[in-house]
Amino acid sequence: MTPAPIHYLVVSALLFTTGVVGVLTRRNMLVILMAIELMLNGANLAFVAFSRMHHQLDGQVVSVFVMTVAAAEAAIGLAIVVQLFRQRGTVRVDETTLLRG
Amino acid sequence: MLTAIVFYILATLCVVTAVLTVTLANPVTCALSLIACLMCLAGLFAQLSAGYVAILQVLVYAGAIMVLFLFVVMLLNLTREEADEGTFGTARALTSLVCVAFLLDLYVFVDAAVGTRDFTEALEGFGSLAGVGEALFSRYLVPFEVISLLLTAAVVGVVAITRRQLSVSKASEPLKVAR
Amino acid sequence: MLPIVLPVDTGDLTALGPLLAVLIAALGVLTVDMTFEREEARGRWSFIVGLVGAGLAAGCASLWQWEAPGRAILGGALYADAFSSFFDVLLATLLGLTLVVSWYCLDRVKVKPAEFTGLAVLSFSGMFLMVRAADMLTLFLAIELMSLPVYVLAGLSAGSKTGREAALKYFVLGSLASAILLYGMALVYGVTASLGYTDIAGYLATASRESGVENPLFLAGLALMLVGLGFKVAAAPFHMWTPDVYEGAPTPVTTLMASGVRAAAAAALLRFLAGAVLLTRGHWMMLVWALAALSMIAGNVGALAQTNVKRLLAYSGIAHAGYMLLGLFALPRGAGGFSMYVAVYALSVLGAFGALQWFDDRGRETVDIEDLAGAGKRHPWMASVMTVFLLSLAGIPPTAGFAAKWFVFAAAVQAGYVGLALLGVMTSLFGAYYYLRVVIAMWMDEPADISGADQSPTTGLVLGLLALAVLFIGCFPGWLWFLADLASSKLV
């Protein structure tokens, strides 16, 4: 019963999907940002698992880069949230305004 | 056998904390469960002989990035905001359902593609700091340089946003621009 | 000590000229921003540095020998070929024009010129990287480098009520798209064990059908990547954000989003589809078919009901994403029509938004069609210029838009997608209505209260020249087609 690639990939898919659900259903901006982090981490786990499966460092290198991108994205996102909070006094995103065509 | 036990514990904790992150009402607890999730992920990375990535995950992700999150949550003092977040409307149920269907699809695809694959013995030193570092400075030199630009862009962007914040009291007077 | 070999060749640096010019300009603008005390000097000098960077980039790109075979440089991370040079020239032009047409509008919308220029040039450096990215990692990073400054720019307006909401929406949906794209890349990497486009293509060519072209995991990854890139080019059904964000952002930023961002995203899409996964085209062409059909319908139907010009142009942009995608069906023979359409659309839409900025003397986020009423009587020259851009977007001869549409429809027909091409012709006839509504309002209606007191003659002159260029391409499309075809034929 040693874990095989598929086990790690299932965990990664679960993380990614949880993130998508979080982004689409939550109204608190901060939680939406956290859900995006979850999605990126799901992708990271997939990259690392595949990297181990193929005996190739490429996937691990990608996950290092993704962490940096996540940091940059989080910084910008949080700055926008703080700015919006100063203006509106809330961090809630109404679903109707977010997805209005 | 031990590997398997550790994997199942970490994987379960990871998924449970991930679900808690997107379902809990209070953003502080959300952030804390995300930190727990990231820690479990670091364990999984270590199992996959990605030692360097695992360390970075703890130091940078769970450490630096999530502290930033917690800091903002505390700064904005949001705990009262979330009182009615618990309601679970039809739109959300539908979204979740679509996502679960997507997940099942994904599982079928993954199973078909790598369902029978097994990990072979890892090479000596695979995923070590030296190996990743060498890749970063040779084959991945260009992406590495791009990252420096990306961080510059992020810093400039955040400064631009916050500078506006500082001068917001003066914003009522019109900006004078050279023409 | 590890033997670290830097994969840098001095010959490669010449191929990187345009990219380096824009990078240096970006850093130059930041330096200027720190050096000068006074806001005016800062704005003026950063503007000059940005323009010089754009000029240098265009100059370096046009020195490229178009007949030379393309090659991968810097350890296989970037391509140096005619395709990147074609888009370098286009992007450098777009950068210069964006800066010039926005210059006088920036103080009206209360965005500091130095900040706008700095972030715009940084964003463009991401675009220059995107069009030459040769592996998925570089592509992902380039997309992020392009997007992050634009997220910030959308919310930078001091007096704006809607700008911040636009920034927030653009940020959330953009990051969602990036994460989906990244997961798709992970799956593709998992199957092919490589990140480079050439290696992926090589794997698909050698692997058996079950483990390569027909591999479900690979196809799932490819579909997720298409979703992610579809967001960036704003193709339906991933277009929901476009109208709100275009409307809410300050018009100079909307100009940048509609022209540069989409041109670069389209180029990256073509490069990936042609360079990496051409062998599976039987599968992804079905998806592209659906995207194109949905975009053409959703964009044109959505635009019909709009009274706001920025929303109207946003919806029409979705329709244009659909027409653009028609050009992809020409693969594997070379998608010159696609590249040409991207170039023509980017220039026309930049012109239309530029003219809108010229008319918008109060710096509002929203400009209704009524606000343009009677513009033909007050400012006949500028109204003619705006009319040229609108006719080009509508695809009416003798403008460039007509020629570009001709080539993409021809590509779809030749590939056997006659139904889709017919749908394209029908929807563009249908779409001409709402462009003409704006034109008629400008020339037939009684003047509204646009004052037009201090509109700049320089901006007017540049927009006029751009309009002449659009007409020129419309009358003599041959040379642009030749270049686009030459650039796109060696991608495969």
Substitution target from B48, B71, B106 for chain A, most A beta carbons within 10 A: B48
Please state, in angstroms and rounded to a whole number, the distance separating the CA atoms of residues C221 and B52.
26
Q: Look at residue C30 and tell me whether its pLDDT is greater than 80.
A: yes
pLDDT at residue B171, rounded to an integer:
43
Lowest mean pLDDT among B7-16, C137-146, C447-456: C447-456
The C-alpha of B174 sits at a distance from chain A's nearest C-alpha, in angstroms, of 19
Using a CB–CB cutoff of 8 Å, tell me whether A31 touches chain C: no
As beta bridge partners, residue C73 has C78
Summary mean pLDDT of chain C: 87
pLDDT at residue C487, rounded to an integer:
84
The C-alpha of B26 sits at a distance from chain A's nearest C-alpha, in angstroms, of 9
- Tell me which chain C residues have a C-beta less than 8 angstroms from the C-beta of A46: 183, 186-187, 190
Instruction: Residue B118: name the closest of A56, A9, A3, A58 by CA.
Output: A3
How many Cβ atoms from other residues are within 10 Å of residue C313's Cβ?
A: 30
Chain A, 23 to 82: residues with Cβ < 8 Å from chain B are: 24-28, 30-31, 33-35, 37-38, 41, 44-45, 48-49, 51-53, 55, 57-58, 60-61, 63-65, 67-76, 78-82
- pLDDT single digits (tens) C18-28: 898 999 999 99
Inter-residue contact A93 to A31 (CB < 8 Å):
no
Number of domains forming the structure of chain B:
1
How long is chain A? Answer: 101
- Tell me which chain B residues have a C-beta less than 8 angstroms from the C-beta of C170: none
Chains with 3 or more CB pairs under 8 A to chain C? A, B
Segment C277-281 mean pLDDT: 86
Instruction: Residue C459: name the closest of C351, C314, C372, C349 by CA.
Output: C351
Judge if the upstream peptide bond of residue C252 is cis by omega within 30 degrees of 0: no
**Residue B164 belongs to a domain:** no
Using a CB–CB cutoff of 8 Å, tell me whether B102 touches chain C: no
- pLDDT single digits (tens) C427-451: 988 888 899 988 988 888 777 665 5
Segment C111-121 mean pLDDT: 90
Q: Tell the CATH topology of A5-95.
A: Helix Hairpins (1.10.287)
In the block, residue with structure tokens 């809108």: C356
How many Cβ atoms from other residues are within 10 Å of residue A55's Cβ?
A: 14
For position B33, which CATH number holds? 1.20.120.1200
Q: What's the pLDDT band for B176 if we cut at 50, 70, 90?
A: very low
Lowest mean pLDDT among B139-148, C76-85, C359-368, C381-390: C359-368
- Tell me which chain C residues have a C-beta less than 8 angstroms from the C-beta of A87: 164
Domain edges within chain A: 5-95
ipTM of the complex: 0.94
The C-alpha of B115 sits at a distance from chain C's nearest C-alpha, in angstroms, of 11
| Segments of chain A with pLDDT less than 70 | 1, 93-101
pLDDT at residue A67, rounded to an integer:
94
Segment C83-101 mean pLDDT: 92
Contact C182 A80 (CB under 8 A): no
**Residue B138 belongs to a domain:** no
- pLDDT single digits (tens) B117-175: 777 777 777 878 888 888 888 888 889 999 999 999 999 999 888 875 555 444 444 44
pLDDT at residue C451, rounded to an integer:
54
Domain of residue B29, residue span: 2-123
**Residue B104 belongs to a domain:** yes
DSSP per-residue string spanning C69-119: PPEEETTTTEEESHHHHHHHHHHHHHHHHHHHHHHTTTTTTT--HHHHHHH
Contacts of C176 (CB under 8 A, 6+ apart): A20, A23, A36, A39, C231
Q: Look at residue C3 and tell me whether its pLDDT is greater than 90.
A: no
**Residue B12 belongs to a domain:** yes
Structure tokens at C280: 């599976």
The percentage of chain C sitting over the pLDDT mark of 90, rounded to a whole number, equals: 40
- Cα three-residue angle C42-C44-C47, rounded to 5 degrees: 105
Lowest mean pLDDT among C12-21, C51-60, C400-409: C12-21
Contact A62 C189 (CB under 8 A): yes
As beta bridge partners, residue C79 has C72
Q: Look at residue C140 and tell me whether its pLDDT is greater than 50.
A: yes
Q: How far is CA C214 from CA B103, C188, C217, C222, C310, in A?
A: 20, 13, 9, 12, 43
Contact C4 B137 (CB under 8 A): yes
